[in-house]
């Protein structure tokens, strides 16, 4: 059950209309998870700085169970997420930051319990 939190200082009109849908599909493919398990929040028009600059930028936080827990996994995921984001948003790689957070099943509540028991 991946969670994606995407933040950017780009105005909403600079984000493609189908961006959230494509982000979910791409993340499902990259992480090897079913698309209907991917959860995403996209926030635009934020006050942001990356590397000391407020030039157009974005941050993507990827949280998931079992697939973002090692440097080797995240190196592979990173390359694919950067490819997607630079293409979709016309941002250079130096203006994008990714943060990976491994989750445990007991940290996610669903249907009145936690994923451990589902």
pLDDT of 112 reads 97
Q: Binning pLDDT at 50, 70 and 90, where does residue 32 land?
A: very high
pTM of this prediction exceeds 0.85: yes
Distance from C-alpha of 71 to C-alpha of 65, rounded to nearest angstrom? 15
pLDDT of 117 reads 94
Mean pLDDT of 6-10: 98
Distance from C-alpha of 61 to C-alpha of 26, rounded to nearest angstrom? 14
Q: Which of 112, 88, 110, 92 is nearest to 1 (CA)?
A: 110
Contact of 18 with 79, CB cutoff 8 Å:
no
Q: What is the pLDDT of residues 35-76, one digit of tens each?
A: 999 999 999 999 999 999 999 999 999 999 999 999 999 999
The average confidence (pLDDT) of the chain is 97
Distance from C-alpha of 96 to C-alpha of 21, rounded to nearest angstrom? 19
Contact of 65 with 33, CB cutoff 8 Å:
no
């Amino acid at each position: 059950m991946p969670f994606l939190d995407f933040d950017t200082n780009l105005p909403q009109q600079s984000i493609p209309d189908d961006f959230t849908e494509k982000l979910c599909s791409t993340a499902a493919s990259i992480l090897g998870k079913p698309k209907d398990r991917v959860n995403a929040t996209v926030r635009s028009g934020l006050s942001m700085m990356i590397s000391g600059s407020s030039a157009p930028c974005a941050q993507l936080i990827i949280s998931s169970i079992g697939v973002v827990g090692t440097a080797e996994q995240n190196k592979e995921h990173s390359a694919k997420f950067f490819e997607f984001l630079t293409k979709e948003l016309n941002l250079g790689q130096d203006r994008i930051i990714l943060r990976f957070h491994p989750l445990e099943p007991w940290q996610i509540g669903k249907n009145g319990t936690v994923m451990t028991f589902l």
